[in-house]
Amino acid sequence: MALVVDSLTKQFGAVRALDGVSFTVQPGEVFGFLGANGAGKTTTMRIILDILHADAGSATWNGRPTHDLPRRTWGYLPEERGLYPRMQVLEQLVFFASLYGVPASGAADLARSWLRRFRIEDTQRRRAEELSKGNQQKVQLIAAILHDPEVLLLDEPFIGLDPVNVAIIKEALLDLRDRGKTIVFSTHQMEMVEELCQSIVIIDRGRVVLGGGLREVKRSTGRRVVRIGVSGDPALGWLAGLDGMRVTRQGQDYTELEVGVGRDPESILTAALARGEHIIRFEIADPSIEQIFVERVGRPPSEDHRLAPEPISAAPAEPTGA
């Protein structure tokens, strides 16, 4: 009873997009699918959806190959965003729902309630091209979930949204999870992963780098993080001299250190007290997913997004596998 991706391999010409990707998503959980652009996230999702065929390996949901399952099992928000530009919002939502077998009358009511929930009720009679990008994205998300699928595959659902809309979408996803839906989403925003996911997998260049429950993944490094703040001395220069510790972030209000394997985080507290510092903050925590990602992949997850966006016509030649 799970979504099992087993040893998926896919080759595009000279590029090996997937090289034995395996992971398991438990039913009813929110699963973070992490990786830099081009890591193979979109290709994996397309194979699960039977839009692409794997060269080797399999994807099953509750023991059945995903390509044998009806399409309404899945709710897919593609990475490439798009709606019919000149079609009215409600009309397209009903169109998509009817392709999944939802009767038109029920689909319209359902679509309206989702539009209301996403606070874009006034857009039903407007053409998609008249909507802001954020609102278009919300309409696309509705198109992906209107038929009440068992599994949601969302490619970057939060990208480009303002904090208010992020909160609305987040709440909706958690609500769907509480109703028993399984949610797999890819993202570059690691704080979303920390907030939402029970499990994650990180892939890089078509290979799984790390995976499992969020807590286990964080513990698996064997390192801990200490955040310490003292009054009067924001620099805390003496910390750099401590054996087995590494300063990872130097801030105004606190300094963050990575505690080496086998080192006692509390020794920092002892050292600070011995120096007579007035401690206003002391925290022992697991490393962040962002830190783990950088460590294992070698670059930050959002690096590609700092680059200028490519024009549509000059998009990569191979299928845009992320």
Partner 1 sequence: MRATIRNVLIVARREYLWRGRTRTFILATLVLMVAGLGVAAAPVIVRYVSERGGPTTVGVHLGDSHPSIDVPRALDGVLNAGSDHNADGTIRRQVSLKVVADLEAARIDVDGGRLSALLALSRGTDGELGFTLYAKGQAFEKTSTMIRQAATSIAIQDRLTRTGVPPIDQAKLFAPVSFTFRPPVDKPGTPEGPSTSEELASGYVMSFALQLFIFMAIMLYGQWVAMSVAEEKSSRVMELVLGAASPFQLLTGKVIGVGALGLTQYVLVFIPAALGMVLQDRIASLVLGVDSTSAGLPAGLSFGLLVAFGIFFVLGFALYAVLYAGAASLVSRQEDVNQIVGPLTLLSVAGYMVSSYASTGLIDISGPLLTILSFIPFLAPYLMLSRIGLGTVTPLEVLLAVAILAASIPVALWLAARVYSAGVLLYGQKPGLRTMLRAMRGA
CB of 307 to partner 1, least distance (A): 17
CB of 90 to partner 1, least distance (A): 14
- Dihedral-angle region of residue 4 (phi above 0 means left; psi in -120 to 50 means alpha; beta otherwise): beta
CB of 316 to partner 1, least distance (A): 7
Question: DSSP readout, 110-126?
Answer: HHHHHHHHTT-GGGTTS
CB of 73 to partner 1, least distance (A): 11
CB of 152 to partner 1, least distance (A): 11
- Quick one: 55 or 290, whose CB is closer to partner 1? 55
CB of 72 to partner 1, least distance (A): 8
- Quick one: 46 or 218, whose CB is closer to partner 1? 46
Q: Is residue 313 a contact partner of residue 202, using CB atoms and an 8 Å limit?
A: no
Which of 78, 84, 42, 57 is closest to 318 using CA atoms? 42
- Interacting residues toward partner 1 by CB under 8 A: 12-13, 46, 49, 51-53, 70-71, 74-87, 95-96, 98-101, 140, 143-144, 312-320
- Quick one: 274 or 312, whose CB is closer to partner 1? 312
Total residue length of the chain: 322
32: which strand partners?
185, 200
Q: Is residue 61 a contact partner of residue 73, using CB atoms and an 8 Å limit?
A: yes
- Quick one: 120 or 143, whose CB is closer to partner 1? 143
- Quick one: 87 or 269, whose CB is closer to partner 1? 87
Q: Is residue 224 a contact partner of residue 191, using CB atoms and an 8 Å limit?
A: no
CA angle (235 as vertex; 233, 240 as ends), nearest 5 = 125
- Quick one: 140 or 186, whose CB is closer to partner 1? 140
CB of 101 to partner 1, least distance (A): 7
CA-to-CA distance for 289 and 54, rounded, in angstroms?
Answer: 29
User: Residue 310 class from Cβ within 10 Å (0-12 exposed, 13-18 middle, 19+ buried)?
Assistant: exposed
Quick one: which H or E segment has residue 56? Answer: strand 56-61
- Quick one: 74 or 293, whose CB is closer to partner 1? 74
- Quick one: 98 or 220, whose CB is closer to partner 1? 98
C-alpha dist (Å) from residue 38 to 149, 157, 181? 27, 17, 27
CB of 227 to partner 1, least distance (A): 42
Q: Which two tokens stand for residue 32?
A: 């973070």
